[in-house]
Amino acid sequence: MSIEALSVTSVGLYVIILFRYFLIAGFFYWFFWMRRRPQWETRKLQDTTPSKKLIWSEIRWSVITSFFFAIPGAIMIESWKLGGTKIYTDYAKYGWIYLFLSIFIYMFLHDTYFYWTHRLMHRPKIFRIFHQVHHESQNPTPWAAFSFHPYEAIIEALILPLLTFFVPIHIGALIFVLTAMTIFGVTNHTGYEIFSAKWMQGLWGKQMITATHHNQHHKNYFCNFGLYFRFWDKFMQTDKMT
């Protein structure tokens, strides 16, 4: 793996990650915080409105975080080119059932890693160094999705590329997981509940992380540590909706 190839891939991936972040976060910020349709105001999760200074801080930290996300991703891509990962392109290699199962495996392992590292970062001495930046957004906007201190960004960036060296995944499934990560990160920080009352009372709301669930974490630091699923929060009795 040459330094030149790694550098070029890192820059290209950084641009892609930034584009994805601004596209998805920008859309949800425009729709909820700028458009401000009256029928959505009943779904606003907190009464306060973040200052412009805080919003720019969320964006600035997210731009920095995207750089730290790009480097492990570039190492993964260059290793894949050299045959060093478990990423594959032939759908028939492991079959269709495994292709869809691998998405769940990756999301569950990512969620497990996120829950426990996230909970660890809430220990007082560690919190101030790693996680305080993210909690400057007590009433987060979509821009807060990647608003991490570089130390936290490095921790968050490692798990998915690392998994590709051990757990087989189709390239299409991997792209889906990476996109889902961004969508969950953004929608969990919208400050508005995007799902209907029917969804929230059904299987989705009871098992998946939503803005309502994660917003409680920004108000009460010691609950709701998950990323995708409520499994670990429920199992460890850190799940709270009010």
Kindly state the percentage of the chain with pLDDT values over 70.
Answer: 100
Residue whose entry in the numeric block shows the structure tokens 């009871």: 206
Q: With a cut of 80, say whether residue 1 has pLDDT above it.
A: no
Q: Locate 60 and state its tokens.
A: 């600035």
The pLDDT assigned to 31 comes to 93
pTM, two decimals, is: 0.94
Say if residues 111 and 236 touch (Cβ distance below 8 Å): no
The number of residues in the chain equals 242
- And the tokens for 56? 């720019």
pLDDT at 2 over 80: yes
239 — phi, psi (to 5°)?
-90, 120
Strand blocks (E) in the chain: 87-88, 169-170
**Dist. CA 196–CA 204, nearest whole Å:** 10
Q: Which two tokens stand for residue 140?
A: 């987060």
